[in-house]
């Protein structure tokens, strides 16, 4: 039997995206993750979220501190931060009906502050409804970055600007 090489490359072109990665038991670090090349425009935030939500257990990345390729177990990812300045995050708010300012306390003592932005029917517009949607990660928008927070590591969420009993 003769091996025949196809006349084209079957690999999907990848683009490196720099993110801040927080793992259980360690300090956040700058890494590059690899997302599928879509178009010439900026990387979509959804590409990184889809990478985290995929079924594969390990996330290949390039650790910018150690200058090495590394595989991270996605089950140990507390959160991933994506810088918004280069991503055009300002426009995102216009696409959602609900905005809830929150403080999210994560395992290990980290507290992240930002906004949950989402669209839902009025009878399912509570923060708890938003958090109970399928998926391991939830989006938290701050002024400077989008955090993709692993729901498994959220200890508590405090709604800001809400009076008790509201």
- pLDDT recorded at residue 14: 78
**Segment 113-148, tens digit of pLDDT:** 999 998 887 777 789 999 998 999 999 999 999 999
Largest CA distance in the chain: 74
In the chain, what are the domain boundaries?
A: 14-159
**Segment 31-63, tens digit of pLDDT:** 999 887 765 445 567 788 889 999 999 999 999
Question: Quick one: how far is CA 76 from the chain centroid?
Answer: 14
In sequence order, what are the beta bridge partners of 115?
Answer: 101, 141
Share the mean pLDDT of the chain. 83
Of residues 133, 150, 130, the one with CA closest to residue 81: 150
Residue 86: Cβ within 10 Å count: 11
Of residues 40, 33, 48, 120, the one with CA closest to residue 84: 48
Per-residue pLDDT for 5 more than 70? no
**Segment 7-31, tens digit of pLDDT:** 555 566 778 889 999 999 999 999 9
- pLDDT recorded at residue 44: 62
**Segment 75-114, tens digit of pLDDT:** 999 999 999 875 554 545 457 888 899 999 999 989 999 9
- pLDDT recorded at residue 4: 55
Query: What separation in angstroms does the CA of 116 have from each of 13, 60, 78, 100, 140?
Result: 32, 28, 17, 5, 5
Q: What is the pTM of this model?
A: 0.81
Of residues 142, 138, 165, 166, the one with CA closest to residue 152: 138
Distance CA 107, CA 28 (A): 13
- pLDDT recorded at residue 94: 56
């Amino acid at each position: 039997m003769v091996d025949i090489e196809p006349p084209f490359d079957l690999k999907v072109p990848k683009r490196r995206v720099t993110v801040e990665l927080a793992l259980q038991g360690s300090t956040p670090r700058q890494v590059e993750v690899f997302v599928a090349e879509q178009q010439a425009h900026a990387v979509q935030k959804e590409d990184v979220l889809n990478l985290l939500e995929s079924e594969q257990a390990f996330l290949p990345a390039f650790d910018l501190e150690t200058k090495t390729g590394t595989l991270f177990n996605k089950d140990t990812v507390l959160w991933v931060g994506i810088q918004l300045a280069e991503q055009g995050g300002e426009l995102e708010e216009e696409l959602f009906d609900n905005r809830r300012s929150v403080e999210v306390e994560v395992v290990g003592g980290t507290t992240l502050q930002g906004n949950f932005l989402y669209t839902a029917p009025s009878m399912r517009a509570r923060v708890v409804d938003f958090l109970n949607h399928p998926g391991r990660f939830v989006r938290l928008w701050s002024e400077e970055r989008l955090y993709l927070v692993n729901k498994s590591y959220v200890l508590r969420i405090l709604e800001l600007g809400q009076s008790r009993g509201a």
